[in-house]
Chain A
Amino acid sequence: QLQLQESGPGLVKPSETLSLTCTVSGDSISSSDYYWGWIRQPPGKGLEWIGSIYYSENTNYNPSLKSRVTISVDTSKNQFSLRLTSVTAADTAVYYCARRGRTVVVTWFDPWGQGTLVTVSS
């Protein structure tokens, strides 16, 4: 059964870099059939797509965050990661990782990790 689990610091200081990792079990992250993505949700608000990666190096980012975001893959650990630089309080959110189909029938976010809250504060 496919499972995704986010991990990383729960508190980041303003202007620093937010770094999160998503560990995938039950599927190979090297598969070209899927995107591996990050979505965030500020407390009490809606969902925002951050970006996705597939085939280890092909990325798509939300233009609103593109200048600050990097998504990468570590195939040896079956993990993918998010780096968000120069964070502010507006980046405080629950961060989710999720798989999205690329060449398969269901090309939507399914499943999702449980999410991890990252607070930006000094």
Chain B
Amino acid sequence: EIVLTQSPATLSLSPGERATLSCRASQSVISYLAWYQQKPGQAPRLLIYDASKRATGIPDRFSGSGSGTDFTLTITSLEPEDFAVYYCQQRRTWPLTFGGGTKVEIK
């Protein structure tokens, strides 16, 4: 099973600041990695897939990068609606696995 480790667990930032979230895989997932955003009481929403492609309707302040074992989700300038929990997920091998999440909170 591929373990995904996200860091930091919590990121405290102000609106307008840049957020950098990390996801590290226990073995190579090539570029088979996605990022999801989850707000309280809501289902996760697909943000980034195949490591760097934005899903439909996702603003361009969200970007993904990386390959192999190290991946980054960047939010260039935080909007109030971006404060949420972010999860990475791999589909390189079964079972599909998720990272533990990074909470982006208002400082």
Which A residues contact B (CB, under 8 angstroms)?
46-49, 52, 60-64, 96, 98, 106-115
Which of B43, B87, B99, B101 is the one whose CB lies under 8 Å from A114?
A: B43
Chain A residue numbers with a CB within 8 Å of B13 are: none
A52: chain B residues at CB < 8 Å are 96
Q: Report chain B residues within 8 Å CB of A61.
A: 95
Q: Is B7 an interface residue (CB 8 A)?
A: no
User: In the bound complex, what is the Cα–Cα distance between A96 and B46 (angstroms)?
Assistant: 14
Cβ 8 A contact of B87, one of A47, A96, A113? A47
A47–B34 touching, CB < 8 Å:
no
CB neighbours (8 Å) of B49 from chain A are 106-108
- Cross-chain pairs A/B with CB under 8 angstroms, 28 sampled: A46-B99, A46-B100, A47-B44, A47-B87, A47-B98, A49-B96, A49-B97, A49-B98, A61-B95, A62-B96, A63-B1, A63-B95, A96-B43, A98-B43, A106-B55, A107-B49, A107-B91, A108-B34, A108-B49, A108-B89, A109-B36, A110-B55, A111-B43, A111-B46, A112-B43, A113-B43, A114-B42, A115-B43
Q: Map CB proximity to A onto B63-107 as digits: 1 under 8 Å, 0 otherwise.
A: 000000000000000000000000101010011111111000000
Q: Check if A109 sits within 8 Å of B99, measured CB to CB.
A: no
Q: How many residues of B contact A (CB 8 A)?
A: 21
Option from B55, B96, B98 in Cβ contact (under 8 Å) with A46: B98
Roughly how many angstroms separate A48 CA and B94 CA in the complex, as a whole number? 13
Residues in chain B within 8 A of chain A (CB atoms): 1, 34, 36, 42-46, 49, 55, 87, 89, 91, 94-101
Which of A47, A60, A107, A113 has the largest count of B CB atoms less than 10 A from its CB?
Answer: A47
Q: Which residue of B lies closest to A63 (CB)?
A: B95
Q: CA–CA, A48 to B3, complex, Å?
A: 12
The list of the 3 closest CB pairs from A to B, nearest first, reads A112-B43, A110-B46, A49-B96
Complex interface: chain B residues within 8 A of A64 (CB): 95
Chain A residues with CB under 8 Å of B46's CB are 106, 108-111
Residues in A with CB closer than 8 Å to B87 are: 46-47
Q: How far, in angstroms, from A111 to B91 measured CA to CA in the complex? A: 16
